[in-house]
């Protein structure tokens, strides 16, 4: 392979590096109306009266809309394949506001100054209701977050709005209670992870306009162009054929832009006024009214023999979806289905969950999508088991980890056809010099250095659901145009798909021109989420290129008047080895521009009945100051099995970025609400993110397996990389202090107070 498994520079690298106008606001029309929303100051309230007359008189104000002006069609903002598992529980504007930050009115004006002034003048009288803020008390609470009768669930996910339930289920295999009762050692603990903000550099933003034909055009920083089209159709009550959605370059998403956070408001304004409009979230809005990670509490019971054989895992997850159910029924499943299967020889397992509504900001998709929370809990329990057994946690995992060829009952009975987890563990141990550093070393200055370990798995798309498509066309100059529906959100997916196409067609990667994510032009694609693009869309590219080569050979046979089976495709030309005759691709494409009944163009779609998991091992070395509780990351070693790494440089950057996000989740990112449900962390001054100074030394390597169902043997890498830091860091802190912290983030204050209490 000339390009796959090689470091190729991203196709958009120079434009981004040189600050070219590539993002939404760079390209938006200068005459757009500015759209903002007035937000509720209450966690639970009914709007009794809105006075907008004075605000409408502000010079430059185009329109102000309230709940009385919008369609009464309930919908979900979750970007998921229809029928969505997430309940239809939203209105564009609702008289019943359900969290501090819920939209109350839409204001559109000629400039930001006028809109800001109008927002201050609008007067609202609320009937303030008691909120449900504690997710542990939400299920079957007398206070209902969604009492409305037109709430509906399209899928059977155990949802019941009259019980504050967004989803509920139980699954498993074997007699968990009997096996646990027979185990020598049982770990029985509860773990708690808070919501986390994706904190991407580019906030939510959308431009809308009507084209020559009166169609609504939505130009948005989104991961899900086709889902946006359906969601806006549902919300506005207009046909999908009247909507076009496209995207620019995206300044980060990490799952946040798998939810239609901003699009619906300017879309409504443009549809009503006929004028172009745009909405750009402030950083404060992105903090208080977006789609963060789900808060989860996980109760783990894990049973083992004295020799370290893990026999049973019982996991119950309580997930907080907040005021609305976006991604609630789907994220929670990953907390069990992508943590329990890491252990391949269980005699029994059980996974149960409840997802509840509360009166806080609704949660959504974030890199790792529930697996991150579940892996923190299960891996922490395994590390506690190792400590209880006085056993090296690496050896404990080597004894129990899933291995290639095993069937994974807790992972929908899929086989582990490609699994280098054992090699990842061995290599990571070597890189960290684990045996010498484990568990800790007293530095003699009040500081302790210690190490921690965790392993993880994820998936490659949603099996039996996700669809990726690709159109490949030979142009008259002998080069290729590749059109895909997936959206590159900074990961470099346009580049890796071009690498695959270049190897399939034996040409230079520069010969592949990529166009992506436009509902009018691109073939259908579920979107850039669930770690699907490399595996799902990449296979579509591979299939399309193969068929185009066949088409080229047939046309060359016609042009040369020779049998197709005697011809060879050589990248730039088609050759007849026996006679030496050939025709270049440029000549061939030009020749058939006249009197031709078929085009040099192929579209192929791909879906997979399986979702082969990538695997990863992470090890961290920390230095902990016992006086202050300060934790410094000294070293982080990561070894990843993503099948064939299509572009090792981009895969490495993905891994490093995910690790740093995981460090933030473990140590710093602390969501806090007041007793009335107002989020305290509404800026980066209050919401601490890790910087370059907080990440220590990162070293990433790959242990390649070969996934037979993937393109060029590839699996995904985008999400798994965030999953190991939290349990590994919690483990290292326990090794340094002898104290287990089961709630994230583990701040220096928590550590210092716990050490002080331990000494008393």
pLDDT tens figures, 692-727? 999 999 999 999 999 999 999 999 999 999 999 999
Q: Which residues contact 44 (CB under 8 A, 6 or more apart)?
A: 97, 98, 99, 128, 129, 130, 131, 132, 143, 145, 359, 677
Cα separation, 444 vs 757, in Å, equals 22
Cα separation, 508 vs 598, in Å, equals 26
- pLDDT of 36: 98
Mean pLDDT of 369-386: 98
Q: Read off the tokens for 80.
A: 């998921």
The DSSP symbol for 276 reads -
Cα separation, 281 vs 360, in Å, equals 19
Mean pLDDT of 531-552: 97
The DSSP symbol for 537 reads I
Cα separation, 36 vs 266, in Å, equals 9
Cβ–Cβ under 8 Å, residues 606 and 484: no
Q: Read off the tokens for 316.
A: 């119950």
The DSSP symbol for 535 reads I
Preceding omega of 83 cis (within 30 degrees of 0): yes
Q: Which of 207, 203, 247, 280 is nearest to 28 (CA)?
A: 207
Q: Apex CA 7: angle with CA 5 and CA 12, to 5°?
A: 125
Q: How does pLDDT run across 288-318, given as a tens digit for each residue?
A: 999 999 999 999 999 999 999 999 999 999 9
Is the model's pLDDT at 355 over the cut of 90? Answer: yes
Is the model's pLDDT at 760 over the cut of 90? Answer: no
Is 384 strand, coil or helix? Answer: helix
Preceding omega of 439 cis (within 30 degrees of 0): yes
- pLDDT of 655: 97
- pLDDT of 593: 87
Cα separation, 376 vs 723, in Å, equals 7
Cα separation, 496 vs 486, in Å, equals 12
Q: Read off the tokens for 663.
A: 């460090």
Q: Apex CA 538: angle with CA 532 and CA 540, to 5°?
A: 105
Residue 51 — pLDDT band, cuts 50, 70, 90? very high
Q: Which residues contact 363 (CB under 8 A, 6 or more apart)?
A: 195, 291, 292, 293, 294, 295, 319, 320, 321, 322, 326, 327, 328, 331
- What are residue 354's phi and psi, to 5 degrees? -130, 140
Is 493 strand, coil or helix? Answer: helix
Q: Where are the alpha helices (DSSP H) in 390-433?
A: 393-400, 421-432
Residues of the chain with pLDDT > 90, as a percent, come to: 98
Cα separation, 287 vs 101, in Å, equals 10
**b/e code 240-271 from CB counts within 10 Å (16+ = b):** eebbbbbbbbbbbbbbbbbbbbbbbbbbbbbb
- pLDDT of 1: 86
Question: For the chain, what is the mean pLDDT?
Answer: 97
Give residue 446's region: left, alpha or beta (phi > 0; psi -120 to 50): left
Q: Which residues contact 156 (CB under 8 A, 6 or more apart)?
A: none
**b/e code 682-700 from CB counts within 10 Å (16+ = b):** beeeebbebeeebbbebbb
Give residue 544's region: left, alpha or beta (phi > 0; psi -120 to 50): alpha
- pLDDT of 127: 98
Cβ–Cβ under 8 Å, residues 367 and 718: yes
pTM of the predicted model as reported, rounded to 2 decimal places: 0.97
- pLDDT of 264: 98
**b/e code 579-602 from CB counts within 10 Å (16+ = b):** eeebbebbbbbebbeeeeeeebeb
Pairing of strands 568-569, 573-575: antiparallel
Q: Apex CA 216: angle with CA 215 and CA 220, to 5°?
A: 140
Q: Which residues contact 177 (CB under 8 A, 6 or more apart)?
A: none
- pLDDT of 598: 83
Mean pLDDT of 308-332: 98
- pLDDT of 643: 98
Q: Which residues contact 212 (CB under 8 A, 6 or more apart)?
A: none
Polymer length in residues for the chain:
760
Cα separation, 347 vs 583, in Å, equals 63
Q: Read off the tokens for 113.
A: 């100054």
Run of H or E including 278? strand 277-280
Q: Where are the alpha helices (DSSP H) in 338-453?
A: 371-389, 393-400, 421-432, 434-437
In 10 A of CB 72, how many CB atoms? Answer: 11
- pLDDT of 599: 87
Q: Which of 132, 105, 116, 112 is nearest to 49 (CA)?
A: 105
Q: Read off the tokens for 748.
A: 């220096």
Is the model's pLDDT at 445 over the cut of 90? Answer: yes
Q: Read off the tokens for 56.
A: 């409408």
Q: How does pLDDT run across 209-255, given as a tens digit for each residue?
A: 999 999 999 999 999 999 999 999 999 999 999 999 999 999 999 99
- pLDDT of 83: 97
Q: Which residues contact 558 (CB under 8 A, 6 or more apart)?
A: none
Q: How does pLDDT run across 545-597, given as a tens digit for each residue?
A: 999 999 999 999 999 999 999 999 999 999 999 999 999 999 999 988 888 88
- pLDDT of 653: 96
């Amino acid at each position: 392979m000339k390009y796959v498994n090689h470091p190729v520079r991203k196709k958009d690298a120079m434009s981004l590096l040189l600050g070219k106008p590539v993002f939404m606001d760079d390209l938006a029309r200068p005459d757009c109306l500015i759209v903002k929303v007035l937000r509720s100051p209450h966690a639970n309230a009914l709007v009794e009266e809105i006075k907008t007359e004075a605000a409408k008189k502000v010079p430059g104000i185009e329109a102000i809309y309230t709940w009385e002006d919008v369609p009464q069609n309930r919908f979900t903002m979750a970007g998921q394949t229809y029928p969505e598992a997430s309940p239809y529980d939203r209105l564009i504007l609702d008289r019943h506001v359900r969290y501090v930050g819920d939209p109350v009115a839409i204001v559109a004006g000629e400039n930001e100054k006028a809109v800001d002034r109008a927002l201050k003048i609008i007067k609202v009288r609320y009937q303030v209701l008691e909120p449900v803020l504690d997710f542990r008390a939400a299920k079957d609470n007398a206070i209902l977050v969604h009492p409305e009768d037109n709430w509906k669930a399209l899928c059977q996910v155990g949802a019941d709005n009259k019980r504050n339930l967004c989803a509920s289920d139980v699954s498993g295999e074997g007699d968990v209670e009997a096996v646990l009762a027979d185990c020598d050692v049982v770990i029985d603990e509860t773990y708690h992870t808070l919501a986390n903000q994706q904190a991407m550099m580019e906030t939510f933003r959308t431009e809308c306009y009507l084209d020559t034909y009166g169609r609504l055009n939505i130009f948005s920083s989104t991961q899900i162009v086709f889902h946006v089209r359906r969601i806006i159709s549902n919300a506005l009550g207009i046909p999908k054929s009247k909507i076009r959605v496209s995207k620019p370059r995206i300044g980060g998403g990490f799952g946040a832009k798998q939810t239609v956070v901003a699009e619906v408001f300017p879309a409504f304004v443009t549809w009503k006024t006929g004028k172009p409009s745009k909405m750009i979230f402030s950083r404060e809005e992105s903090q208080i009214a977006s789609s963060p990670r789900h808060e989860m509490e996980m109760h783990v019971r894990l049973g083992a023999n004295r020799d370290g054989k893990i026999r049973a895992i019982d996991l119950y997850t309580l997930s907080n979806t907040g005021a609305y159910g976006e991604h609630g029924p789907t994220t929670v499943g990953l907390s069990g289905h992508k943590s329990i299967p890491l252990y391949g020889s269980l005699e029994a397992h059980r996974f149960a969950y409840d997802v509840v509504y509360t009166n806080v900001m609704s949660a959504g998709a974030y890199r790792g999508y529930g697996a991150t929370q579940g892996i923190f809990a299960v891996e922490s329990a395994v590390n506690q088991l190792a400590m209880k057994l006085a056993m090296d946690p690496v050896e404990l995992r080597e004894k129990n980890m899933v291995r290639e060829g095993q069937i994974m009952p807790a992972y929908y009975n899929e086989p582990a056809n490609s699994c280098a987890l054992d090699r990842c563990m061995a290599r990571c141990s070597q890189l960290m010099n684990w045996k010498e550093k484990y568990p800790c070393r007293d530095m003699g200055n009040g500081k302790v250095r210690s190490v921690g370990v965790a392993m993880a798995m994820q998936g490659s798309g949603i099996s039996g659901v996700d669809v990726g498509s690709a159109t490949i066309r030979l142009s008259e100059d002998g080069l290729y145009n590749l059109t895909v529906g997936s959206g590159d959100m900074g990961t470099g997916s346009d580049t890796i798909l071009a690498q695959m196409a270049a190897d399939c067609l034996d040409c230079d990667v520069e010969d592949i021109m990529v166009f992506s994510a436009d509902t009018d032009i691109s073939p259908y694609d579920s979107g850039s989420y669930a770690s699907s693009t490399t595996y799902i869309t990449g296979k579509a590219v591979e299939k399309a290129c193969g068929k185009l080569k066949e088409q080229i050979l047939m046309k060359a046979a016609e042009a040369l008047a020779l049998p197709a089976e005697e011809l060879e495709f050589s990248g730039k030309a088609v050759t007849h080895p026996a006679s030496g005759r050939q025709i270049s691709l440029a000549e061939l494409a030009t020749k058939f521009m006249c009197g031709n009944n078929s085009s040099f163009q192929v579209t192929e779609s791909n879906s997979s009945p399986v979702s082969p998991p990538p695997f990863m091992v992470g090890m961290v070395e920390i230095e902990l100051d016992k006086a202050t509780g300060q934790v410094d990351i000294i070293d982080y070693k990561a070894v990843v099995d993503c099948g064939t790494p299509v572009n090792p440089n981009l895969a490495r950057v993905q891994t490093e970025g995910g690790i740093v996000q995981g460090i933030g989740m473990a140590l710093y990112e602390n969501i806090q609400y007041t007793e009335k449900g107002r989020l305290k962390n509404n800026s980066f001054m209050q919401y601490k993110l890790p910087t370059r100074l907080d990440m220590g030394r990162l070293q990433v390597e790959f242990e390649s397996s070969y996934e037979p169902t993937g393109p060029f043997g590839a699996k995904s890498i985008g999400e798994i990389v965030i999953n190991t830091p939290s349990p590994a860091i919690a483990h290292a802190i326990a090794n340094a202090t002898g104290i287990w912290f089961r709630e994230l983030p583990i701040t220096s204050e928590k550590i210092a107070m716990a050490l002080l209490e331990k000494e008393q």
